[in-house]
Structures are given as C-alpha cells and as structure tokens.
Structure 1
Amino acid sequence: MAARFVAGRPVRVGRDLFVPRPEIAALIDALRKGHACTVFGPARLGKTSTLLLAQEELEREGRRVGYLKLHEREVSDAEHANNIVQQLATELQIPDRPSGDLRARLTAVLAAALAAPKPLVLLIDEINFLGPQLAGDVLGTLLDVCERAGGRLAVALAGMCRPSDLGPAAASALALLPNVDLRDLDPAGMRAALEQSELQGTIDIPVLADRLGEWTGGHPYLFQRLCEAIARGDREGSVDQRVHAAAQNLLGRNKAQKSKDADPLLSFMRDQMEQLHAAPAQRAQALSLYRRLLDGELPVIDARDAAQREAAELLWFVGLARRVPIEGDASRLRLQLRGRLIQEAFDRRWLDREEALLERPFRDVSREWLASGRSPRHLLRGDALARARQWLAANEATLEEQAFLDASELAVRTRRLRVALLATASTVIVSLVAVVGLSVTSAEREQRIRDLEAQLAPVEPRGDVQGIEDQLAALRSAIGQVTEPQEREAFEAHISRIEGEFELYVRGTDAHAQTIIEEREALRRDLAVRTQQRDDALRDLATHTEEAYRALTTRTRERDDARDALASRTHERDDARRDLTTRTAERDEALATLATRTQECAQAFAALTTRIQERDQASAALTSCTRERDQARTERDQANAGLALRTQERDQARAALATCEQELRPERP
C-alpha cells in the first residue's frame, strides 16, 4: 500500500510518508548513552515526530521510555506546577503523590522512577508551555537529577522556543546542553519517499522532487502539505503547473479556492514575527538581514557578535531562514532563504509593512508612559513635540499614542504659563531695584540690590502669582530700611503704582489662566473619557480576545481532531478506493482473460467440431473403404475359391492329361 501524506501531526512509520533524517539517529544515540539534550526549533519542523520515533525505536530495544507532552496552561502557576507533577507521576507509573514544593516533588517522582532496575529515558515535549516562572525550577531539577543519576537517566527536551524565552535560570542551564538541530529534508530523501507515495505513477517523480525542493526548501511540513495539495488537486497539466497551482492554494491566492486564508503555518509565522518580545533594534537588524536575503545575498553571521547572532536567531526561529555552518569555522555561519513559498508569503511588501511599524516614533515611549503610571518625565517637549505634531498631521495615531501626545501638549501649556508668571515677577523685582537706586549712591545701591536680592529670593524658585505677592510683601518690609521721608514717600508711591499694574496684570493673567485651566480641564475630561473608553475597550477587547482565544483554541483542537479524523477517514477511503480500483482492474483483467479464453475455447470448439466432422467423414470414408475392403475380400475369397477350383480342375486336367499321355505313350520294349 502506498504511503500517504500527513501534515500537522506526527508521522507514523509504515503508514505515513516518512523521510529519514540523520538527526533522529543522532538523538537516539545520545539517549542510548544516557545524555541530556534539547530539540529546539521553529514550528512544524518535526520535533514531536522525532521524539515519538525515538521513543518507538528505544522501546523496541527494550528500554524504559517516558513521554510527557505539556499543554498550554489556563490556570495559575501553582495549579500548573501541580498538573506537571501529576502528569509526570502518571506517565512514570508512580502511585505515590509526594508533597512539598515543586523541586522536592519532582525530585521524589524521579527518584522513585530511577529505583527500578532499568534506566529511564524521559522525553518532554512542548516545554515552551512551562513559562519563565516554572521553567527554572522544573528544568533545573530535572537536569540536576540527570547529572546525579550517573547515566541511568537520559533526557530530551523539545519545544518551539529559544532558551532565552524560558527565563535566565533555565537559559543558563540549557546553554550547557547540546541541541539536536533538525535540518531540512535533502533532495535524495524526498525523491525516495515520493517513489513510495500515492503520487507514484501519476507524475514524473524526479522532476517533482526538484520542484518541491525549490518551493519548500526541504521544510518537512510544507513538503507534506504541498504533496497533499498536488495529490488532491487536478491531475491535468505539467509538473510545473500542478506544483504552482498547489503552492497558490497554500498561499491563499487561488481564485477558485473557497478560503482565501494562507496555510496555518504561514499565518502563524506572520503572527509570531509581530508578537515576539524583541527589542526594536534587534527587530530592525533582523529585517535588514532578511532584506539582504531577498536581494540575493548570503550573509555571514559572526557568532561572537551578540547583535548579529540574535538577529539571525530571530529569523531562524520564526522560520524565514535556515542556518548553514561554515566548514572549518565554528565561529561563523551562513544564512539562506527557505524556498519560494516562504519568499512569496514574506515578500518585499510584507517587509515594507514590518519596517513601517518600526518607524512609529512614539509607540515605545507611549507604552513606557502608560507603564509608569503616566509619569511626566516621559512626556515630549521642544523639537520632539514639534516632530510629533508633524507626524500626527500625516499619520493616524492609536489611542495610547493620541493620549500621550495630548498629555505632552497639556504639559507644555502649563509650563508656558509658569514661565510667563516668572517673567512678570522678575520685571517687578527689577523695577523695585530701580526705585531704590534713585535715592542712594552707587556703592550703597549695589549693596542695597544685594540685600534686596537676598530678601526677595525664596528658598526654592517660584514662578506663580503667590510667589510674586510674597516678594512684594518682602519689598514692603524692606521699606523700613529707607530713612528719608521723601525717598520713603517716592518708594511707596512707586510701589503702589507697580501694585496697581500688577493687580491689572494678575486679573488678566487670572482670566487667561482660567481660560487655560478650563481648556486643560476640558482636555483632561476628554482625555479621561477617551482613556476610560480606551480602557473599557481594552478590557472588553482583552475579555473578548481571551474568550475568543479560548474558544478558538477549543475549536482549533476540535478542528484538528476533526481534521485528523477526516484525514484518517479520507485516507482510509482513498485506501479503500485504491483497493477497489486495484480489485476492479484485477477483475477487468480476469474478465478480459476469461473472454480471451472463452474465445479461444470457442475457436477450439469450432476446430474440434471441424475435426469431428472430418473424423466423421473419415469414419464414413473408412466405413466405405471397409465395406469396399470387405467386398474386395469377398471377391478375393471368391476369386481364390474360383482359383482353387480352377487349380484343382487344372490339377485334375493335368492328371488326366498325364494319364492320357501315359495311355497314349507306346510301351517300349
């Protein structure tokens, strides 16, 4: 039976299409030796299939293997930790449930498992669902027990994550373990697998293997999906036409396709690129590297350069590029693009959009402002605010960006009011000093200015109206230092005039300040309303998103289960259909053979009839000949009887003649 294509679930050897990979043998060899290793990589690269194939091979050898697959948590850290311990104890058949903290319970479960005579191989899948909070304790405990077990415990950790995604403690522990780097399928393996598939006999396999290598780059999931689309698609046309049509289906670009969505893996890669927690500089460098790849370059990455290494790792982890070691140079590696499917799904238009998102100048600072509780130290001012106004005139801001820019404008207006009041206070002080200077000598004036400055200077600089009033009050108290009546009178008259002007200014300033305050309050109320609306919208969105995500997760699981069941039934139906087709062909061949044999029998029967007729004719002729022979025999017998009679008569005649001759012969004397 031909092997069937499978995408999105683990491969079953002997039933599904399987392409052997040397990395699986390397993982099995490491586990046989009791080592610990990791299998980290992008989505749909075959990590789960690799673990399950290793489990099957090791169990076939008689080894004790435990397989633990973690699930996305929807509970608290404590409940999630308890679920992990229970799941591990159930898998290792440990009846007792130990108590204590997470490390103590894990240690007790592993110790009970290692008490058995046989060594243990533990395979843990989807460790990315541990999260940074639990990864340090779980992985640290597991690796400590593995190190102390002396080769009796082998561990393989697989997940769609990078060590840094699991927190500093887990990252430092995982950095010491070798990683089994799952590479793309090689052309020879793809061709050999296709020769055992259901496409054999329906398409030119060598040409198809070359085209699949060009489109998928050897990505296991995309290889299976594209083969499946080709097998289910129209069988008319050349190999290139059939492969191109199947690829357009995966990209969601086929006009005749009911769903215009791209393949789930391609959609997941887009979302993952947008949601990864990476610094803007790192994302920008990664996008710059990807642009160089699209331009046809093959960038060489220096592993000793942290920025280059992290940018290349980001592209690899998302699945946009593959890492190729440089032979003889362990400190460098080369980046390569992965096939035409990835290039067309993540083309220059997508790259331009991603780079445009990085050019939003206020996204990060507005988030910092919200995270700090709207602290004024994050607000814009000066040239930065002017650039923000220009950017806002040409672009549409988000709610958080608009609130941030409004708060910056309000802070600038308030700051201008304070500066205006401070300038007014400075003018009053200068005027007072000038009045004092009218009645004293130059030396005394300088000393008086210093004294007045000392008296008028507050402990902290103040630029509001109350500060100016306090300074006027201090100036009035300083009049007592003027002893001459005329100077005191002129001083008081000048102060009264300044107070009158200051009162008029204060009224105008109060009116202006009241207007600004009202505008600020209106802006504040509007900002509060918009902030409340945004917060309500965000809460509603978060609630709906969480509910939708849970529903989507449930539906996705149900859909995956239904898809698996449908795929299984479809494959079974196809197998049955192929069996029926084979049996029908065999039946048709048997009927054709039977018809041929029937025709041959008819011909043989006709020949036999002819021969029978000929035999009958021969028999009749033989009978006639027999009668003629019998008649001839009778005639012969009659002739013989006549001959015998005549011979007798002749003999008698001879005897008579002899007698006569004897009688007639004269006697001799």
Structure 2
Amino acid sequence: MSSFFVAGGNLAPDAPCYVLRQADDALLATLQAREFSYVLDTRQVGKSSLMVRAAAQLRRDKVRVAILDLTGIGQNVSPEQWYSGLLAQLGAALGLEDALEDFADDHPQLGPAQRFFGAIREVALPAASAPLALFVDEIDAVRSLPFPTDEFFAGVRAFYNRRADDGELKRLTICLLGSATPDSLVRDARVTPFNIGQRIVPTDFTLLEARPLAEGFGDGGMHAIERILYWTDGHPYLTQRLCQAVAEVGHCDNGSVDRAVARLFFHESAREEETNLSFVQRRVLEGGEDVTALLELYRRARRKEIQEEPGSPLGAILKLSGIVRSVRGQLRVRNRIYARVFDETWINRSIPDGERRRQRAAFLRGLLPTATVAVAGLVATGFLTVRSLHSEQETTRSLDAIQRREQQWKAALEALANERANHSSADAALRQLAEDRLRSTQEENTELRKRLGISPETDLRLR
C-alpha cells in the first residue's frame, strides 16, 4: 500500500492521500470572492498541491485559470526574455498565444513589465466574460534573477488598487505562492513590501485532518498515524514520507514507526541526503550574514519556547527554513524529528569557525590572565613571606597556600579542557595550551622551592 502515499511533488486533485486542511477552504473562498492572496511559507508543506486542488475546483466553477511557474522560465535571462516567458505561459494556459504575441509586437514602445500587464488587461480579460484566476508559483525564483523585479510586484499592486475604478479588473484575481517573505520579494527598500491581499497559511496536519491517511495501512492504520504524527507533528512532507516507509514494512506498531524514523532521518548523512533535511540545513546556514545569531536564536527556541518578535529578520528566516513555527506568538521547534536532527551538537558544529575562535579567545582572555596573575602574585608573595620566616611551621603554611593555588589553577584548566572536549582540532590546540601553562606554573613553583631551600622531605610530607 506504499503507492497510496505521495511524498514530494504536487498531489493530483483526486489523490486519495490528499489531506484537506483549513487552508484549502480559506484559499478557495478567497479566490471565489475575487480577492488577491498569497501563500508564502517554507518548502514541502503542500503549497503547490493546495494551488492545484483550488485551480481544479475553479475550473469546475467555470473560472478561467492560468498557472505561471517561474522556475520554467530560467534565471540567466534578460527582463525582456523573462516577461516574454510569462506571456508565453499565460497564452498557452488560456489558448491566446497569437493574440498576446500580437499585442506585444504592436507595443514595442512599452517596457517589458508594461507589455505583460497591458496584455492581461487588454487581451486576456476581454477574451471571455468568465472570471480569470492567475496563479504565480515559485515566486521566490525572482530573488535569483540578475535584475530587480520590483516592477512586477508594482504591476500586481496596481491591478489590486485599480479594481475599484476598473470593472474588467474586478473579474481578475491573482495568487502568489512560494518560499519567501513579503519584504524579501522587493529589492528596493524604499518600496512598500508586497503584502496586499489575503495571506493563506498552510498549517501542519492535525490528527483529525490526517485520518484519511489511515486508509493506506488497512487494519491498525489510525494507530500508525498517531505514532507518525508524534514524530512529524503533522509536517506534510515528513508525514507522507514516513507513511510510505511504514507501509512498505507492512507493520503499524510503534516499534515499526520508530525504526522507520531512525532509518530515514537519524543516520549520519541524513542532513545531506534527505531532501527536506538538506533544505532546512541549507536555509538556516545560508540564510543571512549573521549565522551565529541565527543559530543562537534557534538554540533558545529549542531549549524553551520564546516570544516571537514581530518583524524580526532572524525569526523570519528560521520560520521560512521550516525548522521552527509560530504557535500563539511563541517560536517552537516544528517537530521531534527536527529537534533530534538539529540538536545542540549540530548547533555547536555549525557555528562559523571565526565565531568559535572568538568565543574561545574571549574565554581565555577572561580565565588565563586572571589565573596567571593569581598564581604569579601568590608565588611572589610566598617568596617574600618565606624569606622572613624562621620556623618550619610558618614555611609549611606558606608553601601549603602556594600548592592550594596551584591545585585551583589545575582544576580550572581541567574544567576548560573538559568543556571543550567535544570540539575540533582547534580545541585540541587549546587544551595543549592549557597543559603547557600548567607545566610552566609547576616549574616556577619547583624553582621557588629550590631557592627557598625547602627539603624534599618537607615537600613530600606536605603533599
């Protein structure tokens, strides 16, 4: 029954494993009301499948539908080529290839963006009296283009604002989908972020919503779904992928689910080989200039749910990576799989080397000079004190104080070594530095004993 489940890619509108969520109803209602909308979230949470299902229902409702996939146009293109690619996809979807091409040829004086939006208004909309729904998928692809696409979003905003005065535009609705934040789509900081229309959030599956997936297992299916959601917390891709693996084994008990989780996600190379884990890791580690601050924020969210700060760029990157989500204003790790895979060891190993060296240097600047000054000061004090003593008892007390300080110094260095024991070869050099420092201190104390004329018997008795 593993073929029942589909992990990765778009689900067909009639796929038996499709899980209906609140987002399905919200998006369809928004489109039927001719409202503009956007579905911007992390990858592999069902955005495109949500779009395909809504588009199928709109077609049944006699709405004309065009889906523009920005990844199909390419990246090494000029503005002219990019907008021509959009126009070609629009023409193919609506059967208006020649009419749209003729409009572009008849208006060479217009810029590429003006021709594209002009063609929608003057050709695509008047071609039929039925409403037109335009989906623009993989909208985050604009961030990789060699030119700014602010004009595209300005054109969408202009359509949105003009609907009050233009009857034709009231028959048009546009929905943008992709893995981005509204403010990241517009490059010019002086331009208002793209946030018009209704935001649709594709939430993770609840246990009630995921009940149809139990059919893929037969008897005991609901028990398997409960255990699967224990690990995935309803993440769409992880849930479907784990359902596939468990169905292949043919057993629905907790042990079978747990072993499938370990086999898929917990082996050493899973972060590089498993597509979803690879995306999450790459998005976090390449998500911004201050990777250390990003990882420290994730560390805090992992240890304890923390208050989400509205407008925080770091919080936005973490949510867009999918590693955390917002729950009642709190940031929390999205599921138990992520919590196990992206653990404290991964955080420590992922902190950039320069930052780790800076942290170690700061630690040493605070510990080593303090301990060195304390030992050196005590050695000098002990030397002057012992010279003035005339009895073995007083000499013994002074030397005992020196040795206690020496033991404290050793303990501090051992604690430092233990604290850093799990780090890289750079930390091995740090431990070597600590050992050399301790050896030097011990040699100074030995030399002091010789100058003071303390006998080996007295030293041995004191030890």
TM range (shorter): 0.5 to 0.7
Task: Kindly indicate whether the alpha-carbon contact (under 8 Å) linking 1:2 and 1:196 is maintained by their aligned counterparts in 2.
Answer: no
Distance in 1 (alpha carbons) for counterparts of 2:212 and 2:3: 8
Q: CA deviation at 1:21?
A: 0.4
Task: Kindly indicate whether the alpha-carbon contact (under 8 Å) linking 1:299 and 1:334 is maintained by their aligned counterparts in 2.
Answer: yes
Q: Describe how 1:432-443 pairs up with structure 2 within 5 A.
A: none
Q: Describe how 1:160-199 pairs up with structure 2 within 5 A.
A: 160-169=179-188, 172-190=192-210, 192-197=211-216, 199=217
Distance in 2 (alpha carbons) for counterparts of 1:66 and 1:82: 15
Kindly tell me: are residues 36 and 169 of structure 1, through their superposed partners in 2, closer, same or farther at Cα, counting changes over 3 Å?
farther
Structure 2 counterpart of 1:344, from 331, 340, 344: 340
Q: Report the counterpart of residue 292 of structure 2 in structure 1.
A: 284
Distance in 1 (alpha carbons) for counterparts of 2:256 and 2:338: 18
Paired amino acid for 2:204: D
After superposing the two structures, state which structure 1 stretch, 29-38 or 134-143, moved more.
134-143
Q: Describe how 1:353-502 pairs up with structure 2 within 5 A.
A: 353-357=349-353, 359=355, 395=426
Q: Report the counterpart of residue 514 of structure 1 in structure 2.
A: none
Distance in 1 (alpha carbons) for counterparts of 2:230 and 2:354: 32
Task: Kindly indicate whether the alpha-carbon contact (under 8 Å) linking 1:5 and 1:224 is maintained by their aligned counterparts in 2.
Answer: yes
Q: Report the counterpart of residue 135 of structure 1 in structure 2.
A: 149
Q: For each residue in 1:231-269, what CA deviation from the matched residue of structure 2 results, as whole angstroms up to 9, or x when unmatched?
A: 112x35x72211112112222629xx9x99642111121
Q: CA deviation at 1:179?
A: 1.7
Distance in 2 (alpha carbons) for counterparts of 1:351 and 1:3: 36
Q: For each residue in 1:147-201, what CA deviation from the matched residue of structure 2 results, as whole angstroms up to 9, or x when unmatched?
A: 32452111110011122332345972512333211111101111x213322x112
Distance in 2 (alpha carbons) for counterparts of 1:359 and 1:46: 37
Structure 1 counterpart of 2:117, from 107, 112, 118: 107
Q: Report the counterpart of residue 76 of structure 1 in structure 2.
A: 77
Q: For each residue in 1:601-629, what CA deviation from the matched residue of structure 2 results, as whole angstroms up to 9, or x when unmatched?
A: xxxxxxxxxxxxxxxxxxxxxxxxxxxxx
- Look up the SS of the partner of 1:48 in the other structure: helix
Q: Which has the higher contact order (CA 8 A, sep 6+)?
A: 2
Corresponding position: 1:239 with 2:253: yes
- Look up the SS of the partner of 1:336 in the other structure: strand
Distance in 2 (alpha carbons) for counterparts of 1:206 and 1:183: 21
Task: Kindly indicate whether the alpha-carbon contact (under 8 Å) linking 1:251 and 1:262 is maintained by their aligned counterparts in 2.
Answer: no
Corresponding position: 1:221 with 2:221: no
Distance in 2 (alpha carbons) for counterparts of 1:222 and 1:145: 38
List structure 1 runs of 4+ shifted beyond 6 angstroms: none
Task: Kindly indicate whether the alpha-carbon contact (under 8 Å) linking 1:40 and 1:161 is maintained by their aligned counterparts in 2.
Answer: yes
Task: Kindly indicate whether the alpha-carbon contact (under 8 Å) linking 1:249 and 1:262 is maintained by their aligned counterparts in 2.
Answer: no
Distance in 2 (alpha carbons) for counterparts of 1:71 and 1:134: 16
- Look up the SS of the partner of 1:223 in the other structure: helix
Q: Give the structure-1-normalised TM-score.
A: 0.48
Q: For each residue in 1:281-307, what CA deviation from the matched residue of structure 2 results, as whole angstroms up to 9, or x when unmatched?
A: xx4343223212322x1111232xx4x
Q: Report the counterpart of residue 263 of structure 2 in structure 1.
A: 249
Q: Describe how 1:643-662 pairs up with structure 2 within 5 A.
A: none
Q: For each residue in 1:34-68, what CA deviation from the matched residue of structure 2 results, as whole angstroms up to 9, or x when unmatched?
A: 11111000010111001111101111111111111
Structure 2 counterpart of 1:212, from 228, 241, 247: 228
Higher helix share: 1
Q: For each residue in 1:84-141, what CA deviation from the matched residue of structure 2 results, as whole angstroms up to 9, or x when unmatched?
A: 2322233233323214311221122211111121121111100111236343112221
Q: For each residue in 1:580-614, what CA deviation from the matched residue of structure 2 results, as whole angstroms up to 9, or x when unmatched?
A: xxxxxxxxxxxxxxxxxxxxxxxxxxxxxxxxxxx
Q: Report the counterpart of residue 302 of structure 1 in structure 2.
A: 309
Q: For each residue in 1:306-346, what CA deviation from the matched residue of structure 2 results, as whole angstroms up to 9, or x when unmatched?
A: 4xx22221111111111123xxxxxxx11122222111221
Task: Kindly indicate whether the alpha-carbon contact (under 8 Å) linking 1:68 and 1:123 is maintained by their aligned counterparts in 2.
Answer: yes
Identity among equivalent pairs (%): 24
Distance in 2 (alpha carbons) for counterparts of 1:260 and 1:324: 25
Structure 2 counterpart of 1:124, from 124, 130, 136: 136
Q: CA deviation at 1:15?
A: 3.2
Q: Report the counterpart of residue 88 of structure 1 in structure 2.
A: 90
Q: Report the counterpart of residue 407 of structure 2 in structure 1.
A: none
RMSD: 2.8
Q: Max radius of gyration: which structure?
A: 1
Paired amino acid for 2:48: T
- Look up the SS of the partner of 1:154 in the other structure: strand
Paired amino acid for 1:87: Q
Distance in 2 (alpha carbons) for counterparts of 1:77 and 1:16: 42
Q: Report the counterpart of residue 530 of structure 1 in structure 2.
A: none
Q: CA deviation at 1:360?
A: 5.9
Distance in 2 (alpha carbons) for counterparts of 1:357 and 1:152: 55
Task: Kindly indicate whether the alpha-carbon contact (under 8 Å) linking 2:134 and 2:173 is maintained by their aligned counterparts in 1.
Answer: yes
Q: Report the counterpart of residue 7 of structure 1 in structure 2.
A: 7
Structure 1 counterpart of 2:159, from 134, 138, 145: 145
For structure 2, list consecutive stretches of 5 or more residues without a partner in the other structure.
Answer: 165-169, 359-364, 366-424, 428-463
- Look up the SS of the partner of 1:196 in the other structure: helix
Task: Kindly indicate whether the alpha-carbon contact (under 8 Å) linking 1:64 and 1:121 is maintained by their aligned counterparts in 2.
Answer: yes
Paired amino acid for 2:142: L
Paired amino acid for 2:254: D
Paired amino acid for 2:334: R
Distance in 1 (alpha carbons) for counterparts of 2:271 and 2:203: 30
For structure 1, list consecutive stretches of 5 or more residues without a partner in the other structure.
Answer: 326-332, 363-382, 384-393, 397-669
Corresponding position: 1:271 with 2:282: yes
Distance in 1 (alpha carbons) for counterparts of 2:353 and 2:171: 51
Paired amino acid for 2:136: I
- Look up the SS of the partner of 2:67 in the other structure: strand
Corresponding position: 1:313 with 2:295: no
Paired amino acid for 1:275: E
Distance in 2 (alpha carbons) for counterparts of 1:3 and 1:356: 42
